[in-house]
Chain A
Amino acid sequence: MEIITKSKARRNRHNIKKEQDTLSHPLQFYKIPPSDTISLQKFEEYAIERLKVLKAVENAGVKFIKGTQNYKDHLEKEIRKTHFKGILRVPFIEVLDLVRSRKVYLVDGYAFVPRDDMISILLTHYRAHLSHSLAITCRALPHLEEDDRLLPMLCGLSKRYIGEDYGNKKSTVGEITADMIDMLSKQSFPLCMQQLHQSLRQNHHLRHGGRQQYGLFLKGIGLSLEEALKFWKNEFTKAIDGDKFDKQYSYNIRHNYGKEGKRADYTPYSCVKIIMSNPPGPGDFHGCPFKHTDPDLLAQKLRSMSLSKDAVDSVVNYAKEGHYQVACQHYFAVTHSNFEDDININHPNGYFEESRRFLNPDKGNMNKSQLGTPRTNRNPVKMEGTPISQLASQTQPSQDSTVGDFDDMGDNDLMDIAMETDAESDKKSS
């Protein structure tokens, strides 16, 4: 996607004319990729512009859910083109997202799709196309490796404009040990992680969803693999024997650290991911407490942490209205006395780092410079004013790997990479 400022356009008029022949559309939604030579610098410029646009589109989606009038008109035009009227009968496989959310009536393998939802059919085809192209791109990557300038740039790109992914950063690994977690959880964990920590301590067990959410968070705050194994084993073996732990659970922990299976380096979940995908079921303690707790229970819980009545009310109200992350920010503010800065919470690990930095300013500054990440970049999506529930239809549910599910990179993994344009991506090919 090419965004050209006026002056730049003037300077490059010739080039652009030529490029537009091959690129034909300013959005660069080509089916056949251009094959001309391009300078590395130019490529980088385009790539960054493209990311900015993706980001802008995403932000627009956050702000205006069903879109502006223009957006709607455009979609309608697209649908008109297909000449569909009324209700359409299609194989269910063509409208999986409508099936998933039970928005269609199914009979004998066919879905009856109301006019308003036909965009879903287009989406399916677009996804299939995208996924196919990504597979081809993926196969081409080894050739790119021959040029040692391109790949590092591509890899660094998403970090520069999309925000921190809180992967296992070299500088923080090993700073945290298993015996510090109790203390840290009280001081600096966001409520979602406190909740997981408490139920782990209580039940000496967490189900898969909880182990993933909590385990990756701990990895993100700098718990090394050895310490993680120690931490989980310590707790689990209060209920089961060590042998069973080694067989059933340690694989998954090593897997999350990229030591098993396809050796992907998994990154901690962002708030958006926690809030919107893989909701907790019976027996589960994961999820975001501001979304996945009954308001009464939430209030009760907050009161038991001796927050003032006003504080409890305002946090619970935000949660009730669907502003989960704003509720979390409020919670941060009232649990860190004299906190005056304005912060955005969009990642549990961001919450943790902000808290450490606040409680421990000197060390925080050191960390900051080590990481070299400006704080502002951490907050790519402003969530205020948008009930997150409305976003649900836009995000794919997570495809978490489980034991016995590895070693293949199918379409869906590729899809994830394509669909997850911000820090919510949980897999980073290593």
Chain B
Amino acid sequence: MSETYDPSSLPDLLPIYYKKLFPYGPYYRWLNYGGVPKTYFNHREFSFTLKDDVYIRYQSFSDQQELEKEIQRRCPYKIDIGAVFSHRPKDHKTVKAAAFHAQEKELVFDIDMTDYDDVRNCCSGADICSKCWPLMKIAIQIIDRALREDFGFQHLLWVYSGRRGIHCWVCDDIARKLSQNGRSAIAEYLSVVKGGEHQTRKVTLDDIIHPSIRKSLDIVEKAFKDYAVDKQDFLGNEERQTKLSEDFKSGSNSKVWWAIIQKREKDIREKKKYKDCQNVTREIMLQYCYPRLDVNVSTGVNHLLKSPFCVHPKTGRICVPIDPEKVDEFDPEDVPLISQLIEELNKTDSTDDTSKRGKDYKRTSLSSCVQVFENFLKKLENSWKGKLQEQSDLKMEF
């Protein structure tokens, strides 16, 4: 099995991937939402990024066949999913600008490792490794819990972005219909780490900690020592100490430390400062580990987000769904590479030529990833059935 990927081979690999492996069936079933309303799929915007960064917006397709045909014809390096519009996006030039507007979209979250650069010492920018990936696990656990338990959402699709982050698509009816104001309210409810480059203390807890943050703290507390102390050695040198508190700045010999400890105790004794101190360790843990959301991405109904099952052009990894319940088992290093999938396909190709078109992924390691997607989809479809049932029951009563 090949474990390497060469970005220059992408133009050769993509046509095969889109022809044999991309899971069009489940993908269409997702975005069609049971065909209610009928126009839901064909009013949906897709955008393609082609070779050499050629970017085309406002693509839309009438059905699965047209989608398949277009993706295979264009072989996009990247596919983005946008909003469901008032008209078919491909007709947007023929509609008056004022009438053409975004109506619905999944509520989405984008968590990107680059936003954690000040609290990870192993890598920076687009790089990730096993020492910092735990941050993403914590993020999934916290956001997933809050969205389900606090907001009552049920249909969350978590996706690896192919390189350094994760996305979450909240697909419940209410979520898709949220206004911009509703989206930003939820995103802010979920944002705890605040403060720019000129503020060292980035988390401030109230005296009475909100129940939702308490639950987040439970999650962070379990992971903190392993992440910050063992993996990151977060107070390992003077620079790291300064990042945490200006108090450390004057150096870290015993004399200074002793002075700091004494000052802390004095502060605590003077009642006034007590409040400031009681949450110190909690605030530090949240500052290091609490998920950092890109609020801009969540807020706009019209914001485009990279589609699941795209290929990341630089890493060659597939943007596969993540099962939030098995987040500990997910390792970005194990995510299938496009080159690897195609090799797997070639190996089995000769032995099995009866395979049905579109089911070829079952013969590759993409299969388990599509299974995660199918599980999400089944629950979603059951909820429609429930609704249809409810509706017909209502009719019966009259």
**Which of A's residues lie within 8 Å of B, judged by CB?**
92-93, 96-97, 99-102, 105-110, 195, 199, 208, 247, 262, 279-287, 289, 292-294, 296-298, 396-397, 399-402, 404-412, 415
- Among A106, A279, A280, A285, the most chain B Cβ lie within 10 Å of the Cβ of A106
From B287, which residue of chain A is reached at the shortest CB distance? A282
Of A279, A402, A410, which is within 8 A of B195 by CB?
A279
- B211 on interface, CB distance cutoff 8 Å: yes
Of A286, A294, A399, which is within 8 A of B246 by CB?
A294
Q: Known contacts A280-B197, A407-B100; is A106 also within 8 Å of B184 by CB?
A: no
Q: Tell me the smallest distance from the CB of B144 to a CB of chain A, in Å.
A: 15
Distance A408 CA – B102 CA, assembled complex (angstroms): 7
Of B102, B114, B184, B198, which is within 8 A of A294 by CB?
B198
Distance A355 CA – B231 CA, assembled complex (angstroms): 51
Q: Known contacts A102-B212, A407-B100, A409-B101; is A292 also within 8 Å of B195 by CB?
A: yes
Q: Tell me the smallest distance from the CB of B45 to a CB of chain A, in Å.
A: 10
Tell me if A282 and B150 are in contact (CB < 8 A): no
Distance A140 CA – B213 CA, assembled complex (angstroms): 46
B-side contacts of A409, CB under 8 Å = 98, 101
Q: Known contacts A402-B300, A408-B102, A409-B101; is A100 also within 8 Å of B197 by CB?
A: no
From B117, which residue of chain A is reached at the shortest CB distance? A283
Tell me if B182 and A96 are in contact (CB < 8 A): yes
Tell me if A286 and B211 are in contact (CB < 8 A): no
Selected interface stretch from B232-240, B301-309, B338-346, B381-389: B301-309
B-side contacts of A195, CB under 8 Å = 198
Q: Tell me the smallest distance from the CB of B95 to a CB of chain A, in Å.
A: 11
Given contacts A99-B185, A404-B82, A404-B300, 16 further A-B contacts (CB under 8 A): A93-B178, A100-B184, A105-B211, A106-B150, A107-B150, A108-B149, A108-B150, A280-B196, A281-B115, A282-B197, A283-B115, A283-B196, A289-B198, A404-B303, A407-B97, A410-B101
Tell me if A412 and B196 are in contact (CB < 8 A): no
From A96, which residue of chain B is reached at the shortest CB distance? B185
Q: Tell me the smallest distance from the CB of A196 to a CB of chain B, in Å.
A: 11
- B285 on interface, CB distance cutoff 8 Å: no
Tell me if A281 and B194 are in contact (CB < 8 A): yes
Distance A92 CA – B153 CA, assembled complex (angstroms): 12
Tell me if B201 and A294 are in contact (CB < 8 A): yes
Q: Known contacts A281-B196, A292-B195; is A109 also within 8 Å of B152 by CB?
A: yes
Of A106, A279, A412, which is within 8 A of B181 by CB?
A412
Tell me if A399 and B198 are in contact (CB < 8 A): no
**Which of B's residues lie within 8 Å of A, judged by CB?**
53, 55, 82, 92, 97-98, 100-102, 114-118, 149-153, 174, 178-182, 184-186, 188-189, 193-202, 210-213, 246, 292, 296, 299-304
Tell me if A292 and B199 are in contact (CB < 8 A): yes
Of B92, B114, B186, B196, which is within 8 A of A286 by CB?
B196
From A108, which residue of chain B is reached at the shortest CB distance? B152
Tell me if A208 and B196 are in contact (CB < 8 A): no
Tell me if A411 and B201 are in contact (CB < 8 A): no
Of B186, B301, B304, which is within 8 A of A410 by CB?
B301
From A97, which residue of chain B is reached at the shortest CB distance? B185
From B47, which residue of chain A is reached at the shortest CB distance? A404
A-side contacts of B304, CB under 8 Å = 404
A-side contacts of B116, CB under 8 Å = 282
Tell me if A102 and B189 are in contact (CB < 8 A): yes
Tell me if B198 and A293 are in contact (CB < 8 A): yes
Q: Known contacts A282-B118, A282-B292, A410-B179; is A294 also within 8 Å of B100 by CB?
A: no
Tell me if A297 and B296 are in contact (CB < 8 A): no
Tell me if A294 and B150 are in contact (CB < 8 A): no
Distance A42 CA – B292 CA, assembled complex (angstroms): 53
Tell me if B196 and A93 are in contact (CB < 8 A): no
Distance A102 CA – B185 CA, assembled complex (angstroms): 9
Of B102, B246, B303, which is within 8 A of A402 by CB?
B303
Distance A404 CA – B210 CA, assembled complex (angstroms): 35
B-side contacts of A284, CB under 8 Å = 196-197
Q: Tell me the smallest distance from the CB of B205 to a CB of chain A, in Å.
A: 11
A-side contacts of B301, CB under 8 Å = 408, 410
Distance A407 CA – B58 CA, assembled complex (angstroms): 12
Tell me if A408 and B100 are in contact (CB < 8 A): yes
Distance A282 CA – B118 CA, assembled complex (angstroms): 8
A-side contacts of B302, CB under 8 Å = 404-408
B-side contacts of A208, CB under 8 Å = 296
The 9 closest A-B pairs by CB, nearest first: A280-B196, A109-B152, A408-B101, A106-B150, A293-B198, A100-B185, A96-B185, A405-B300, A108-B152
From A247, which residue of chain B is reached at the shortest CB distance? B53
B-side contacts of A415, CB under 8 Å = 181
Of A282, A287, A289, which is within 8 A of B193 by CB?
A282
Can you give 5 A-B contacts (C-beta < 8 A)? A100-B184, A279-B195, A282-B118, A287-B196, A401-B300
A-side contacts of B195, CB under 8 Å = 279-282, 292
Q: Tell me the smallest distance from the CB of A336 to a CB of chain B, in Å.
A: 24
Q: Tell me the smallest distance from the CB of A262 to a CB of chain B, in Å.
A: 7
B-side contacts of A93, CB under 8 Å = 174, 178, 182
- Among A100, A286, A296, the most chain B Cβ lie within 10 Å of the Cβ of A100
- Among A105, A208, A401, A405, the most chain B Cβ lie within 10 Å of the Cβ of A405
From B201, which residue of chain A is reached at the shortest CB distance? A294
Tell me if A399 and B299 are in contact (CB < 8 A): yes
B-side contacts of A92, CB under 8 Å = 151
A-side contacts of B149, CB under 8 Å = 107-108
Q: Tell me the smallest distance from the CB of A371 to a CB of chain B, in Å.
A: 32
Distance A292 CA – B196 CA, assembled complex (angstroms): 7
Q: Tell me the smallest distance from the CB of A325 to a CB of chain B, in Å.
A: 18
B-side contacts of A102, CB under 8 Å = 189, 210, 212-213
Tell me if A199 and B197 are in contact (CB < 8 A): yes
Tell me if B185 and A279 are in contact (CB < 8 A): no
- Among A208, A286, A410, the most chain B Cβ lie within 10 Å of the Cβ of A410
A-side contacts of B102, CB under 8 Å = 408, 410
Q: Tell me the smallest distance from the CB of B239 to a CB of chain A, in Å.
A: 16
Tell me if B185 and A106 are in contact (CB < 8 A): no
Distance A286 CA – B179 CA, assembled complex (angstroms): 27
B-side contacts of A282, CB under 8 Å = 115-118, 193, 195-197, 202, 292
B-side contacts of A293, CB under 8 Å = 198-199
Q: Known contacts A106-B150, A402-B300; is A285 also within 8 Å of B197 by CB?
A: yes
A-side contacts of B151, CB under 8 Å = 92, 106, 108-109
A-side contacts of B184, CB under 8 Å = 100, 397, 399
Of B55, B179, B186, B198, which is within 8 A of A99 by CB?
B186
